[in-house]
Structure 1
């Protein structure tokens, strides 16, 4: 049953239109190269329109896996496909696992706190998820490979890609948790002092320190780098002909790279260049 006729799930013509438009997403991110204004996370700003961090993050990031799963379960029947090959479901599973962690588990259960998100950032992130999920799910749900034979001869590449994807995901989780520990430690300290002095806890929404464990010893945005590795492995699973996976990786890089460079400037301004030291923004020894 279509929720929006010819769009959710998409017709082939509309899917191709989405894929074409989605390739130009880097043009939208160009403003990040010239502006330091990015009202989210450590660079969030005070605004009466702000959305609470945890709720904002969960709602904007969940759109991706919800759209993908809906299309995976509805589009095949509209196209007369009885069963999708296991390779399609493997890629869909990788995507869903990442975003269930990123959109639900991380903000709602693991993060001690999250800074507010401006509605503009929320809207752009929501659209990113919808366009990306439509592009990927169209390919996976009927407009890409539709039989086991379409995956034949690529099993070794898929296995390597899954290993790369898994290591990227684990690295992303590890470095995310290192950032969380900064606030967890600050929260424990505040609660101990508050109990001793009989005053309320200040909160850790704006507590930041320079992370140092794992790849953070080399770069400030190790969790971004691990996510790139993760989606590079995802593209390997799909193969060179999986254009949606390639566009996804490119779009991730073009939006996260300037954000990391902006973040490095923020760290240097807040803590001083001597504290940041020789750390690069996101790629060890390069950028």
Structure 2
């Protein structure tokens, strides 16, 4: 049963149209190069309309893998496909694992706190995830390869891509946790001070320090860089013809790069250039 007729799951015509439009998403990100305003995370602003950081992040980031899983359940039935090949489920599984961590485990269970976000950020991120989920889901659920022979012919690339994806995911998790430790340490300090003085513990939403472990020794947004590596490996699993994977990687890079450069300017203003010790924004030795 279709949730949205013609779109969830998508017809081939609608899916092809969305994929053709989706490849032009980088044009939308051009505004990020000239405007530093980004009301989310460390650059969030005070507003009565703000959404709780944890709830906002979990709901907007979950949309992609939920849409993907629904399409992979519903579309093969409409197309009369009895069983999808294991390669399709490998790509889907990698996608779901990443977003289960990023959308559910990380914000709701691991992060000590998250700054509130603007509803505009939520809407844009939610739309990104839905379009991405339809693009990838349509490919994996019937409009891309549907035979085991397709994957057997490229098993070595699948293995190499999967290894790269795993290392990217582990790197992402490691550097995410390094950022969390900054707030965990601040919270422990406040707990000790509160116990000694009898005062109430304040929020650590706006506690920031310069991260220094791992790739943070070279760049300020090492978690972004690791995510790029992760999705590059994921695209390699699917191959050059996996155009939704390619579009996803490019769209991620074009929206995260200006965000990282903006974040570097924020660190410079808050701590001073000399404290950054020559660190780049996201690409060691380059940007």
State the TM-score, normalized to the length of structure 2. 0.99
Partner of 2:247: 247
Q: CA deviation at 1:5?
A: 1.0
Partner of 1:61: 61
Q: Distance in 1 between matches of 2:68 and 2:106?
A: 20
Q: Distance in 2 between matches of 1:223 and 1:6?
A: 37
Partner of 1:193: 193
Partner of 2:21: 21
Which runs of no fewer than 5 residues in structure 1 stay unpaired? none
Q: Distance in 2 between matches of 1:190 and 1:18?
A: 49
Count of matched residue positions in the alignment of Structure 1 and Structure 2? 287
Which runs of no fewer than 5 residues in structure 2 stay unpaired? none
Q: Aligned-residue CA RMSD in angstroms?
A: 0.5
Q: CA deviation at 1:248?
A: 0.3
Q: CA deviation at 1:152?
A: 2.7
Q: Distance in 2 between matches of 1:153 and 1:78?
A: 27
Q: Distance in 2 between matches of 1:20 and 1:277?
A: 43
Q: CA deviation at 1:150?
A: 1.7
Matched, 1:72 2:72: yes
Partner of 1:284: 284
Partner of 2:204: 204
Q: Distance in 1 between matches of 2:158 and 2:77?
A: 26
Partner of 1:218: 218
Q: Distance in 1 between matches of 2:132 and 2:40?
A: 21
Q: Distance in 2 between matches of 1:140 and 1:98?
A: 17
Q: Distance in 1 between matches of 2:241 and 2:65?
A: 22
Q: Distance in 1 between matches of 2:41 and 2:264?
A: 14
Which residues in structure 2 correspond to 1:31-180 (within 5 Å)? 31-180=31-180
Q: Distance in 1 between matches of 2:25 and 2:202?
A: 40
Q: CA deviation at 1:137?
A: 0.6
* Larger mean Cα displacement after TM superposition, 230-239 or 19-28: 19-28
Q: Distance in 1 between matches of 2:2 and 2:36?
A: 41
Q: Distance in 1 between matches of 2:131 and 2:29?
A: 15
Q: Distance in 1 between matches of 2:154 and 2:35?
A: 43
Q: Distance in 2 between matches of 1:17 and 1:275?
A: 48
Q: Distance in 2 between matches of 1:150 and 1:163?
A: 20
| Runs of 4+ off more than 4 Å | none
Q: Distance in 1 between matches of 2:46 and 2:29?
A: 23
Q: Distance in 2 between matches of 1:279 and 1:5?
A: 49
Q: CA deviation at 1:277?
A: 1.6
SS at structure 1 position matched to 2:49: coil
Alpha-carbon displacement from aligned partner over 1:20-62 (angstroms, at most 9, x marks no partner): 1111111111110001100000000011110000000000000
Q: CA deviation at 1:65?
A: 0.5
Q: Distance in 2 between matches of 1:262 and 1:277?
A: 17
Q: Distance in 2 between matches of 1:127 and 1:49?
A: 19
